[in-house]
Structure 1
């Protein structure tokens, strides 16, 4: 109920009126059953705009730090992410990554819509980077419908490092469902996981028209951080 009130009465109408996003392909999202919306990731606000334009509630897995802040700012941040339907996860790797996978599978097992970013992090420069195979495991283990989504222009609205968004129109392209049923039961094969991930990212590239770079975005970020020291 809290999510519905914030989306349809408080946050949603105001944000949509200001930024006027254009959307294509909404009919590609099934009205029932588990669905994975696999999107490119250009900006912090991707997780805000996508749920606002989709008729069904969309759950994103957000880093736990967004939910643990103290004081008024911490409370406001926590309320904001909860209103956007996001769940806290530990993204430190190892067992935490497994827990994140299980959280996503639980959401899908409940027949809900899960939003994920195959790249694993925001693009540092607007390019599309190599996907993480965790998304493929989730696809194959859940058997959920997989819909590729391209966010267009969100990096111009809120670039990395900025705190306030700029008023610009964005776009959202929702592709046709992808069929990975031929890989059913093969989620333990790392070559299959890589194949599924690469195919999914290929579709994102076609929808978004981004330049593709066959390395992980996290590696690029780490390299840039070390050079700036």
Structure 2
């Protein structure tokens, strides 16, 4: 009831008036049956704009820190997240992470929509970072379709550290479902898990137009925090970890252009026969 009231009566109408979100490809989300919505993660508000745009209820796996806060504020935050259809996701690995994935699997087995951010945390600089394989484990174990979703401009609405959002328009692009049934029976193969994850990240990069960095966003954040604590002048996050986008080849069929060209990561060689500009 709380979820429905917030979406239909309170939060939803306010967001539509103030931020005027535009949505493309909404018909790619099945009207019924289980599916996993995988999205890039630019802002805390991603988990608000996306459920408002999708007609069906979406259950998100959110980081467990939101549910473990202390004091009155911590308890209120945990209550809000639970009432808004979000489940705690332990990112420490091992048995704790497996338990979190089991909770997500229960949602899918019940025919629901599960939302996941493969990067595991918000992007520190608006670029797309390497995906974690938890989403692949879920998809391979359940055989459900994967719906890629690109959030556009939410990092400008609510950058990291900002509580009061900026009023500006945001966008949501829903891609065509990805089918990984060809890997049936190989759910425990780590190479398959990485291949599936990389294919998902490639599609998110294509839809969002983001630059891709082949490093975990959490590792980059830890490095930046360490540099800040040491009083060092930090460089652009991920600058020393740039590599080619994803190992998966581009789709064979031509696709509609993304909202903004995809930045090619890494150095390019000048065409043969042309001298470099020395001016």
Cα distance, 1:90 vs structure 2: 3.0
CA distance in structure 1 between the partners assigned to 2:145 and 2:7 by the alignment: 24
CA distance in structure 2 between the partners assigned to 1:146 and 1:98 by the alignment: 20
Quote the residue 2:59 is aligned against.
59
CA distance in structure 1 between the partners assigned to 2:207 and 2:227 by the alignment: 33
Q: How does 1:127-206 map to 2 (within 5 A)?
A: 127-206=127-206
TM-score (norm 1): 0.95
Quote the residue 1:24 is aligned against.
24
- Is structure 2 residue 125 aligned with structure 1 residue 125? yes
TM-score (norm 2): 0.78
CA distance in structure 1 between the partners assigned to 2:13 and 2:40 by the alignment: 24
Cα-to-partner distance string for 1:9-40 (whole Å, 9 max, x where unaligned):
12211122211110000000001110100000
CA distance in structure 1 between the partners assigned to 2:80 and 2:17 by the alignment: 18
Task: Say how many residue pairs are matched.
Answer: 229
Cα-to-partner distance string for 1:146-183 (whole Å, 9 max, x where unaligned):
10000000000111111111111100000000111101
Distance 1:131 1:124, change over 3 A: same
The higher radius of gyration belongs to 2
Which secondary structure does the structure 1 equivalent of 2:177 belong to? coil
- Please tell me whether the aligned partners of residues 2 and 84 of structure 2 are also in contact (alpha carbons under 8 angstroms): no
Higher relative contact order structure (alpha carbons within 8 Å, sequence separation ≥ 6): 1
- Please tell me whether the aligned partners of residues 36 and 115 of structure 1 are also in contact (alpha carbons under 8 angstroms): yes
- Please tell me whether the aligned partners of residues 6 and 83 of structure 1 are also in contact (alpha carbons under 8 angstroms): no
**Which shows bigger deviation, 50-59 or 84-93?**
84-93
- Is structure 2 residue 228 aligned with structure 1 residue 228? yes
5+ residue gaps in structure 2? 230-279
Which secondary structure does the structure 1 equivalent of 2:147 belong to? strand
Which secondary structure does the structure 2 equivalent of 1:228 belong to? helix
Cα distance, 1:143 vs structure 2: 1.0
Which secondary structure does the structure 1 equivalent of 2:166 belong to? coil
Which secondary structure does the structure 1 equivalent of 2:38 belong to? strand
Quote the residue 2:96 is aligned against.
96
CA distance in structure 1 between the partners assigned to 2:98 and 2:54 by the alignment: 28
Please report the RMSD computed on the Cα atoms of aligned residues, expressed in angstroms.
Answer: 1.4
5+ residue gaps in structure 1? none
CA distance in structure 2 between the partners assigned to 1:158 and 1:111 by the alignment: 32
Structure with greater proportional helix content: 1
Which secondary structure does the structure 1 equivalent of 2:222 belong to? helix
Cα-to-partner distance string for 1:100-125 (whole Å, 9 max, x where unaligned):
11111111111000000111111110
- Please tell me whether the aligned partners of residues 7 and 84 of structure 1 are also in contact (alpha carbons under 8 angstroms): no
CA distance in structure 2 between the partners assigned to 1:153 and 1:223 by the alignment: 25
Cα distance, 1:193 vs structure 2: 0.7
